[in-house]
Amino acid sequence: MDRREKATCRVIRPGGAYDGKQGLSYFEGIARETVGSTGICMHLLTIPPGARARAHLHESHETAIYVLSGEAHTWYGERLEEHVVVRAGEMFYIPAGVPHLPANLSDVPCSAVIARTDPHEQESVVLLPELDGLVTGKTES
């Protein structure tokens, strides 16, 4: 959206998807690219059974997640030493700069609404390949 255009309310019907640097596919939602947002993005993510993301962090934005269905395991911390399971109906907060790696260890999809404080979801994603191997074996069902 051209910034000179008048700001207005918009309805987004998620349809198209994009592949994130993290290795998962996201349904397009609220972002600078879709509605001209300036401080937030929000989209849907479904992690297929057995899938996992690459270890990464978001340099300059916070993330809030609401799990709609299923459950996600997430390892986080400087060496991915912390672990949490977030289930349907629960919310999860990830501060800016915290390394993390989510995975779906179940046999059903995990769907979530994800909101971030950066209108460009992929702008500050930093992949951390040196951490990927730290959860090898832990992400196998």
pLDDT in tens, 57-90: 998 899 999 999 999 999 999 999 999 999 999 9
pLDDT in tens, 79-135: 999 999 999 999 999 999 999 999 999 999 999 999 999 887 666 788 899 999 998
Three-state SS across the chain?
Answer: CCCCCCCCCCCCCCCCEEECCCCCEEEEEECHHHHCCCCCEEEEEEECCCCECCCEEECCCCEEEEEEECEEEEEECCCCCEEEEEECCCEEEECCCCCEEEECCCCCCEEEEEEECCCCCCCCEEECHHHHHHHCCCCCC
* Predicted local confidence at residue 30, as pLDDT: 87
